[in-house]
A and B are shown apart, each in its own frame.
Chain A
Amino acid sequence: MEGSVAYDNDLNLKATELRLGLPGTHDERQEQQQKQPVSNVRNNKRPSGESYGQNEAAPPPKAQIVGWPPIRSYRKNNSQPKKTDTEGGGIYIKVSMDGAPYLRKIDLQVYSGYPELLQAVENMFKFNIGEYSEREGYKGSDYAPTYEDKDGDWMLVGDVPWEMFITSCKRLRIMKGSEARGLGCGV
């Protein structure tokens, strides 16, 4: 049974108070609370560039406390403007296919070359692209994968080296039908 505990300005009534726990356990718990509680320690993400006050002798990153400071997760990344697509963290481009009612988005950096990319696109839209050859483009299907490059021109996918492609490609379009066949000869 808990007894009534008299509180007055001087807190320490330990001698006369009735407690629930086993003797001695209260002090242990008190001591535990003095340490800064750190649960779910994570690496401190430091913003790049912008913070002034940051120099060579900056203190080591502190372990983060869960839920502190109390801000919603969607507010956590406001320390710098959103990175443009090509600066670290993926090259995202939109992929559309003639006749399909939806667009997709892919990260070109994920693929190591054209075969992988085309395979992924085929899977995404459930169709077959056909065999590529430099002279004749994509044979054996009604589709041709094209892309818009930095200059706004529409090119056939595969004509330029892969590295050049991923830096110049703005978006992908899987063309269908006669338009596709027209591009077969490349630029």
Chain B
Amino acid sequence: MHKKMAFSFPDEVLEHVFSFIQSDKDRNSVSLVCKSWYEIERWCRRKVFVGNCYAVSPRMVIKRFPEFRSIELKGKPHFADFNLVPDGWGGYVFPWIVEMAGAVPWLEEIKLKRMVVTDESLELIAKSFKNFKVLILSSCEGFSTDGLAAIAASCKNLKELDLRDCEVDDLSGHWLSHFPDTYTSLVALNISCLGSDEVSLSALERLVGRCTSLKTLRLNRAVPLDKVANILRRAPQLVEFGTGTYAAELRPDVYSDFAGAFSSCKELKSLSGFWDVVPDYLPAIYPVCSKLTSLNLSYATIQSPELIKLVSHCPNLQRLLVLDYIEDSGLEALASSCKDLQELRVFPSDPFGVEPNVSLTEQGLVAVSSGCPKLQSVLYFCRRMSNEALVTVAKNCPNFTRFRLCIIEPRTADYLTLEPLDVGFGAIVQYCKDLQRLSLSGLLTDRVFEYIGTYAKKLEMLSVAFAGDSDLGLHHVLSGCESLRKLEIRDCPFGDKALLANAAKLETMRSLWMSSCAVSFGACKLLAQKMPRLNVEVIDERGPPDSRPESCSVDKLYIYRTVAGSRFDMPPFVWTMEDDPSLQLS
């Protein structure tokens, strides 16, 4: 029972105060203070974040937050990005759209990640939400340009259409023409993932020309360089731009046209695209480089000397994505030119080659860590590493929030000492007290997990592959990492013991993925029995797990907490370990 305090605020005042609280975490905390705060908060929450679309049902969300205007949903487990989750696993957005179409007619924003989005879903969105403004689809699949045409045709107030890294069935470039001539409100358009050559360039030019508020435009590879000038000239106000293919015949008229159009864009801060780069065209962007804060060259197959020239023109760079063609020498140049660098991602140009094709080693990473004091987020693919380098990097960068290292060959030892890399990663977690995300690689024993469990108190996401010796490794992580939300493991000798001993921990996390490990079917069943609010799903394309002995390891295991009970849309190769069907909540 609660007493109304003599000096309590009227609801409207509280609501006004709450409107300044945007972060999801804070909103959740607010709702836990007392029942009246819970009530007030739920009526005024405008943005809903659902980190796992199966953790809750659309009806439950709508019931609790009747007035939301923006929803963000995530579907498949992260390892789906690397083809570890078979097609048809799930993550369908349609049921959500159906429920929201009826109950949330004023919905403005939908952000989806790793979900299956059909044309039917897109058509329903187009039809149902009169004030629809923002559609961001990240790593989604299942739709075609027909669905996009529906959005273009109906969403008069659309501001953002962002298809990042989606797999789209390209039926026709004509969908762009479905934006009516009266439509002018576009602010951001990202079609970089589209393959079709037939993106109608004239429709694109007209669209860009009439949308004077356009700030972000990311083209797809099919847009030729000689057409980019026409587009840029119509949008000198662009802040973020992604080129199409960066190759053209070397003709002075084409070059000067292109360079001229570029230099008229005085607001550019972010560039991407750069497929098929012809190096002679790179100087065209030099005039805008001094203002650039973000540069994505991860498709640019240019060599280190050109890359060095380019980055040395960008003193204000905060974010760089690049291929390992940059080499150690390029990273050293980066370290001396770009003192504001916060995020670096170095991708492998030849991920499946056995021998190194470029001279990129741990030295490059060390150089950047030493030269860039603001470095916070690293994704680094390389072929050799040493504990010494990792310790140096850790000491140089105590502010790391994300550290993902991928030594390409699994179980690669310290190349200097031939020891495991436990100490190196141990230094990372020890010195980087705010580390939120960590991906491990190389030769690692249970010892590295002991370090992680001991020091990585703010760690929220951990990715592990080909590491560890025994269940003790997993136990260290589950029992020590207080902030852990997502754990994904592949090809590690972790089995039943650690999992069952830490069953309760799993309910404090969003999800756990384990594939090619040593968890038995029997343990899965037991876990599900112990923990009714977890969905324990076995993914096994070999056939039903109960056709094999209980002690047999399952192929893939995905465990997540949920208040929605088992899901109904599982394909034939996914089995949910549930004890009693009547315990399901609707």
- The chain A residues found within 8 Å of chain B, CB to CB, are 2, 4-5, 7, 11, 17, 19-22, 25-26, 29-30, 32-34, 36-37, 39, 44-47, 50-54, 58-59, 61-62, 64-76, 78-82, 94, 101-103, 105
Across the interface, do B352 and A4 meet the contact criterion of CB distance under 8 Å? no
Q: Given A22-B551, A33-B491, A70-B463, output 17 extra A-B contacts at Cβ < 8 Å.
A: A11-B470, A21-B496, A21-B520, A22-B549, A26-B495, A29-B495, A44-B352, A45-B352, A51-B357, A54-B355, A67-B82, A67-B84, A69-B348, A70-B439, A82-B245, A101-B174, A102-B174
B241 nearest CB across to chain A (Å): 20
- Residue picked from A21, A54, A102, most chain B C-beta under 10 Å: A21
Q: Which residues of B contact A62 (CB under 8 A)?
A: 354
Bound: A138/B469 CA distance, A: 75
Instruction: Identify which of B84, B247, B354, B475 contacts A66 (C-beta below 8 A).
Output: B84
Instruction: Identify which of B301, B463, B475 contacts A7 (C-beta below 8 A).
Output: B475
Across the interface, do B497 and A68 meet the contact criterion of CB distance under 8 Å? no
Q: Does B15 contact A (CB under 8 A)?
A: no
Interface code B284-321, partner A: CB below 8 Å = 1, 0 otherwise? 00000000000000110100000000000000000000
Bound: A22/B520 CA distance, A: 11
Q: Which residues of B contact A58 (CB under 8 A)?
A: 354-355
Q: Does B350 contact A (CB under 8 A)?
A: yes
Interface code B454-473, partner A: CB below 8 Å = 1, 0 otherwise? 00000000010100011010
A50-B357, A51-B355 known; A81 vs B79 contact (CB < 8 Å)? no
Bound: A105/B330 CA distance, A: 40
Bound: A116/B347 CA distance, A: 44
Bound: A105/B275 CA distance, A: 20
Interface residues of B in 370-420 (CB under 8 A from A): 381, 406, 408, 410
Q: Which residues of A contact B275 (CB under 8 A)?
A: 82
Chain B interface category by residue count? 35 or more
Q: Does B185 contact A (CB under 8 A)?
A: no
Across the interface, do B352 and A33 meet the contact criterion of CB distance under 8 Å? no
5 contacts between A and B (CB under 8 A): A29-B518, A78-B298, A78-B299, A82-B276, A102-B198
Q: Does B446 contact A (CB under 8 A)?
A: yes
Q: Which residues of B contact A94 (CB under 8 A)?
A: 197
Interface code B138-161, partner A: CB below 8 Å = 1, 0 otherwise? 000000000000000000000000
Bound: A26/B552 CA distance, A: 10
Q: Does B501 contact A (CB under 8 A)?
A: yes
Across the interface, do B353 and A79 meet the contact criterion of CB distance under 8 Å? yes
Across the interface, do B408 and A69 meet the contact criterion of CB distance under 8 Å? yes
Q: Does B212 contact A (CB under 8 A)?
A: no
Query: Smallest CB-CB separation from B497: which chain A residue?
Result: A5
- The chain B residues found within 8 Å of chain A, CB to CB, are 79, 81-84, 165, 172-174, 193, 197-198, 245, 247, 275-277, 298-299, 301, 323, 347-357, 381, 406, 408, 410, 439, 446, 463, 465, 469-470, 472, 475, 490-493, 495-497, 500-501, 516-518, 520, 522-523, 526, 549-551, 553
Q: Which residues of A contact B408 (CB under 8 A)?
A: 69
A132 nearest CB across to chain B (Å): 28
Bound: A81/B500 CA distance, A: 50
Across the interface, do A68 and B165 meet the contact criterion of CB distance under 8 Å? no
A22 nearest CB across to chain B (Å): 5
Shortest 3 CB-CB contacts between residues of A and residues of B = A67-B82, A53-B355, A51-B357
Q: Which residues of A contact B500 (CB under 8 A)?
A: 2, 20
Bound: A65/B551 CA distance, A: 25
Across the interface, do A79 and B350 meet the contact criterion of CB distance under 8 Å? yes
A36 nearest CB across to chain B (Å): 7
Q: Which residues of A contact B165 (CB under 8 A)?
A: 72, 74
Bound: A70/B323 CA distance, A: 15
A7-B472, A51-B357, A69-B406 known; A103 vs B198 contact (CB < 8 Å)? yes
Across the interface, do B349 and A20 meet the contact criterion of CB distance under 8 Å? no
Across the interface, do B465 and A68 meet the contact criterion of CB distance under 8 Å? yes
Q: Which residues of A contact B490 (CB under 8 A)?
A: 67
Q: Which residues of B contact A21 (CB under 8 A)?
A: 496, 520, 522, 550-551
Across the interface, do A20 and B518 meet the contact criterion of CB distance under 8 Å? no
Bound: A120/B428 CA distance, A: 61
Bound: A74/B406 CA distance, A: 18
Bound: A4/B82 CA distance, A: 36
B350 nearest CB across to chain A (Å): 4
A118 nearest CB across to chain B (Å): 22
Query: Smallest CB-CB separation from B79: which chain A residue?
Result: A67
Across the interface, do B520 and A20 meet the contact criterion of CB distance under 8 Å? yes
Q: Which residues of A contact B355 (CB under 8 A)?
A: 51, 53-54, 58-59
Bound: A147/B417 CA distance, A: 65
Query: Smallest CB-CB separation from B81: which chain A residue?
Result: A72
Q: Which residues of A contact B247 (CB under 8 A)?
A: 81-82
Across the interface, do A33 and B81 meet the contact criterion of CB distance under 8 Å? no
Q: Which residues of B contact A50 (CB under 8 A)?
A: 357
Across the interface, do B198 and A71 meet the contact criterion of CB distance under 8 Å? no
Query: Smallest CB-CB separation from A94: which chain B residue?
Result: B197
A1 nearest CB across to chain B (Å): 9
A94 nearest CB across to chain B (Å): 7
A55 nearest CB across to chain B (Å): 9
A2-B526, A58-B355 known; A19 vs B350 contact (CB < 8 Å)? no
B442 nearest CB across to chain A (Å): 12
Query: Smallest CB-CB separation from B404: which chain A residue?
Result: A70
Q: Which residues of B contact A33 (CB under 8 A)?
A: 491-493, 517-518
Q: Which residues of A contact B472 (CB under 8 A)?
A: 7, 11
Across the interface, do B497 and A17 meet the contact criterion of CB distance under 8 Å? yes
Q: Which residues of B contact A51 (CB under 8 A)?
A: 350, 353, 355, 357
Query: Smallest CB-CB separation from A79: which chain B residue?
Result: B350
Query: Smallest CB-CB separation from A33: which chain B residue?
Result: B493
A21-B496, A21-B520, A30-B518 known; A79 vs B83 contact (CB < 8 Å)? no
Query: Smallest CB-CB separation from B84: which chain A residue?
Result: A67
Bound: A30/B493 CA distance, A: 6
A7-B472, A69-B381 known; A103 vs B501 contact (CB < 8 Å)? no
Q: Which residues of A contact B172 (CB under 8 A)?
A: 102
Q: Which residues of A contact B553 (CB under 8 A)?
A: 29, 32
Query: Smallest CB-CB separation from A81: which chain B residue?
Result: B301
Bound: A5/B408 CA distance, A: 35
B273 nearest CB across to chain A (Å): 13
B538 nearest CB across to chain A (Å): 15
Query: Smallest CB-CB separation from B407: which chain A residue?
Result: A69
